[in-house]
Structure 1
Amino acid sequence: MMTGFRLNLSPLKEPIGFVKLVEWLTAIFAFGCCCGFSGKNVISILCGDGSNETLNAMYQYPFRLSQFPLIDKNTTLCNQSVTTTHMMGDSASSAEFFVGVGIICFLYSMAALLVYLGYMHVYKDSDFGPIFDFVITAIVVFLWLVCSSAWAKGLQNVKSATDTEGISGTLALCKGSNITCEVTEFANMRTLNISVVFGYLNMLVWAFNAWFVYKETRWHSRKFSSQPGPGRHQVPAPI
């Protein structure tokens, strides 16, 4: 059996190769939209004497919000002394899990494409390659479901911690009866919302691809070969 590299682009014209290319692209969009984010919310503070103060809440991936200060040093706001205050919340585990799955799928898709385009003759002549590919594909479908759901919840926690209610609950100053705090400018989280959409899209694409990978395994070929053809008649077993 020849095991050398043979460049053959025909798998890209077949579902098994074309869908793998789609998986490679969707993985890039998923983790790229998440890990490249940085944003700023502007908080307006209306003091009891009618004066206004402004604070900037800046945060970014991996959304460990407790490390980002609302007030960096002790200062005076609305004639009150305010100590160093950080935002509350930590969505780093779900965000990093999501990005990690995306990077792994990006690398695996790239490696699988290399095998399809250069070693398809070896891939189809062996039992190990298709079965390994199918098992990994099934595991990845589950991972995308879990990490996308976890990141969707983590993103909701980030939004809740950085909105008016979350900021007001964090700043002791905002709990005064004569002081009003409000987030007047929100960071654009469109890319984060897109990352969640691409997470679930990846799950669907990988689940779709699982069927075409399964067709390359011996499990499918044995099932197909065991079915009687249109001209065959099964001989009844002797009684």
Structure 2
Amino acid sequence: MAGLRVDFGLLLEPLGFIKVLEWIFSIFVFATCGSFQGETTLVVSCKGVVNKTVTAAFAYPFRLNTVAFSAPDPEGCGGAWTDIYLVGNFSSSAQFFVTLAVLVFLYCIAALGVYIGYKHVYQQNSKFPLTDLAITVITAFLWMVGTFAWAKALANIKMATGASMIPGIETCKAPGITCRLASVTSMKTLNVSVVFGLLNMILWAGNIWFIYKDTNLFNKSNIISQSPAMYSARRI
């Protein structure tokens, strides 16, 4: 009964097919967010320096407050230049988002292994579908929380690395120093990570129904709903 019986049939059903999509989409999440590397560049003019570019490189997990711009020249604009750090630490939202994707990736592999090799055990033991249902409900909620938190953090990252950061830089307000934004690395891949976060949330929420149908909770509700009709038929 509990032996391995390889059967790919469940992958053709919604329960298995959606799990494959969840596995694939989780890969896109940590690939697009966790591997991001970018930089923001300013053009600085100061004492003895004209239109010198200074760069601050940032990457996942986006602890921007630890990232400083390079100095425009060895003399630091005649002593007027002080280190400029980016503002904000968005590591908690980014790491939660990526960690969730990694855990989901691992769980999907385990679940697919059960679906393919132990389908008969999954269907005969009521504890497996109930556990699967509980994990799916929790994961759908975590995707919602993680995605919206990361979307908010991403909006702040764009502000902290874009032109809107310049008015808040004290060094650029010093006499004889001017700064302007030259370029910022495109964050399209981070936008994509948010999209895949939303897709994961929808997939996991939708999958609740298909897993629920395999639990004894669904079977009990069917029995209860059918009982009045059966009783009426007997009386007739």
TM-score by length of 1: 0.90
Match in the other structure for 2:220: 222
Deviation string 1:41-86 (CA, Å, 9 cap, x unpaired) is 2211244889212101210000001121213699445544323332
Deviation string 1:148-184 (CA, Å, 9 cap, x unpaired) is 11111111111111112214423x2211465432212
Is the Cα contact below 8 Å between 1:69 and 1:87 reproduced in 2? yes
Query: Sequence identity of aligned pairs in percent?
Result: 40
Q: Distance in 1 between matches of 2:178 and 2:231?
A: 84
Three-state SS of the structure 1 residue aligned to 2:232 is coil
Range with bigger deviation, 49-58 or 155-164: 49-58
The count of aligned residue pairs is 235
TM-score by length of 2: 0.91
Structure with the larger helix share: 2
Q: Distance in 2 between matches of 1:87 and 1:23?
A: 35
Matches within 5 A, 1:136-147: 136-147=135-146
Q: What is the identity, as a one-letter code, of the residue corresponding to 1:139?
A: I
C-alpha displacement of 1:232: 3.5
Range with bigger deviation, 65-74 or 96-105: 65-74
Q: In structure 2, list runs of 5 or more residues that go unmatched.
A: none
Match in the other structure for 1:148: 147
C-alpha displacement of 1:23: 0.2
Range with bigger deviation, 38-47 or 15-24: 38-47
Three-state SS of the structure 2 residue aligned to 1:203 is helix
Q: What is the identity, as a one-letter code, of the residue corresponding to 1:11?
A: L
C-alpha displacement of 1:228: 2.6
Match in the other structure for 1:160: 159
Match in the other structure for 2:37: 38
Is the Cα contact below 8 Å between 2:64 and 2:89 reproduced in 1? yes
Deviation string 1:112-163 (CA, Å, 9 cap, x unpaired) is 0000000010001011000000000000010000011111111111111111
Is the Cα contact below 8 Å between 1:69 and 1:85 reproduced in 2? yes
Alpha carbons of structure 1 residues 114 and 72: separation in structure 2 relative to 1, 3 Å = farther
Match in the other structure for 2:109: 110
Q: Distance in 2 between matches of 1:51 and 1:109?
A: 55
Of 192, 195, 209, which aligns to 2:193? 195
Match in the other structure for 1:61: 60
Q: What is the identity, as a one-letter code, of the residue corresponding to 2:156?
A: N
Match in the other structure for 1:89: 88
Q: Distance in 2 between matches of 1:24 and 1:65?
A: 31
Q: Distance in 1 between matches of 2:20 and 2:214?
A: 18
Q: What is the identity, as a one-letter code, of the residue corresponding to 2:133?
A: F
Is the Cα contact below 8 Å between 2:76 and 2:82 reproduced in 1? no
Q: Distance in 2 between matches of 1:213 and 1:133?
A: 7
C-alpha displacement of 1:87: 1.6
Q: Distance in 1 between matches of 2:3 and 2:234?
A: 48
Alpha carbons of structure 1 residues 73 and 175: separation in structure 2 relative to 1, 3 Å = closer
Is the Cα contact below 8 Å between 1:75 and 1:81 reproduced in 2? no
Q: Distance in 2 between matches of 1:66 and 1:74?
A: 22
